[in-house]
Amino acid sequence: MPDQFYFALEVALNGLLTGIMYALVALGFVLIYKSSEIFNYAQGVMALFAALTLVGLQSGQVPFAELINAIFGTHLSHFGWRLPPLVAIVLTAVVMVLFAILVERLILRHLVGQEPIILFMATIGLAYFLEGFGDLMWGSEIKKLDIGLPQGLSETVESLTDRWFGYGLFIDRLDIAAAAVAGILVTVLTLFSQYTKQGRALRAVADDHQAALSVGISLRFIWVLVWSIAGFIALVAGVMWGAKSGVQFSLSLIALKALPVLMLGGFTSIPGAIVGGLIIGVGEKLFEFWVGPLIGGATENWFAYVLALVFLVFRPQGLFGEKIIERV
């Protein structure tokens, strides 16, 4: 086999793994949309906020230190401790649950029954507020995320493929870890929604709000639950992407990579988010590989949207979305 073939294979494999990273972001959107028909514009900023909180807690940073110092003339910066990664992750998850409760109490509760566009606008406001709040709470400097995730070339894959094909394939160990985490997440989410009372309630709300309310399911509780899970997924996405670039405010832009995944996979399907991510990931990488050099490169951003638009033309509800049938 020629090198060109193995290189294409390497590009495709890396595309699949990158697609899983996109899917991690898309999953949060899907969960919230599925249960409340809200397109959560703040999902990317939630990933940023969760990652900032994780690093802040882990490194013992004093929250709102600059504000406190400015008001009281103190010189606070760190508590002087360093938390183990697992403890920091659990504490951050708790913060994201508190965030979900506040979102329900302060925003969603007051907008029950409003048009989806009103709820969407509310999440735009939430995104900008959360970005500023995160800045005030943890500062805007770039932070190194260090929770012991594997990173860099997988020597095992390289040496095995070199032995088999005479071409050592490059796979990033972080991408393998992300794929494993995504697999665990989807499995846990599926088991949760199928076999737990809360999960069944969540599915009931997703199917029909009114019917779910009529049998005594608390919509408010479900919203808190869903936003908490979306917050945890945002934490996972923030950690995986933050490990590549450090935790910085551009991290919120990862939401841009989730949109074509959602268009393709559908806004209401968890498998759709995963499959959509895989298609977008491999599609954009192979397009860049074959066509990119002919047209000057940098095709990945726009090609992902073109691919999603093509799918939209034939399946407006996305690959796995629910078909909308309205009868007059």
Partner 1 sequence: MKLTRIAAAAAAALVMAGPALAELVFPSLSYRTGPYAANGIPFADGYADYFTLLNERDGGINGVKTRVVECETGYNTQKGVECYEATKGEGSLVYEPLSTGITYQLIPKASADGIPIHTGGYGRTSAKNGRVFKWVFNYPINYWDGASIAIKYILSQENGDLKGKKIALLYHNSAYGKEPIRTLQKLAEKYGYELMLLPVDHPGQEQKSQWLQIRRAKPDYVLMWGWGIMNPVAIQEAANIRYPMDHFIGIWWSGSENDVKPAGMKADGYKALSFHMPGDDFPLFKDIRKYVVDAGKASGTGEYVGTVLYNRGVYAAMLAAEAARKAMEIHGTKDITPAMMRDGMEALEMTNEKMAALGLPNFGPEFKVTCANHGGNGLGIVQQWDAKAGKWKVITDWIESDKSVIDPLIEEDSMAFAKENGITPRDCKE
CB of 32 to partner 1, least distance (A): 22
CB of 126 to partner 1, least distance (A): 17
Give the C-alpha separation, 242 to 13, whole Å: 22
**What's the token pair of residue 272?**
């759709």
Q: Which is nearer to partner 1, 134 or 321 (CB)?
A: 134
272-53-237 Cα angle (round to 5) = 20
Contact 74, 89 (CB under 8 A): no
- Answer yes or no whether residue 162 interacts with partner 1 by CB under 8 A: no
Contact 261, 277 (CB under 8 A): yes
- Answer yes or no whether residue 78 interacts with partner 1 by CB under 8 A: no
CB of 288 to partner 1, least distance (A): 4
Instruction: Determine the interface stretch with partner 1 among 104-112, 118-126, 144-152, 195-203 (rule: CB under 8 A).
Output: 144-152
- Answer yes or no whether residue 212 interacts with partner 1 by CB under 8 A: no
Instruction: Determine the interface stretch with partner 1 among 100-108, 150-158, 210-218, 305-313 (rule: CB under 8 A).
Output: 150-158
CB of 237 to partner 1, least distance (A): 12
Interface pattern 248-287 for partner 1 (x via CB under 8 A): xxxxxxx--x---------------------------x--
Write the DSSP string, 169-199: ---BHHHHHHHHHHHHHHHHHHHHHHHSHHH
CA 321 to chain centroid:
19
DSSP code at position 62: P
Among 152, 197, 215, 328, binds partner 1 (CB under 8 A): 152
Q: Which is nearer to partner 1, 145 or 275 (CB)?
A: 145
The one-letter code for the residue type at 291 is V
Contact 63, 86 (CB under 8 A): no
Helix, strand, coil fractions of the chain, as percent rounded to 5: 75, 0, 25
85-91-96 Cα angle (round to 5) = 120
Among 60, 63, 85, 246, binds partner 1 (CB under 8 A): 246
Contact 266, 161 (CB under 8 A): no
Instruction: Determine the interface stretch with partner 1 among 185-193, 214-222, 237-245, 312-320 (rule: CB under 8 A).
Output: 237-245
Q: Which is nearer to partner 1, 120 or 167 (CB)?
A: 167
List residues binding partner 1 (CB under 8 A).
7, 10-11, 14-15, 18, 66, 69, 73, 132, 135, 140-146, 151-153, 170, 172, 241, 244-246, 248-254, 257, 285, 288-289, 292, 296-298, 300-302
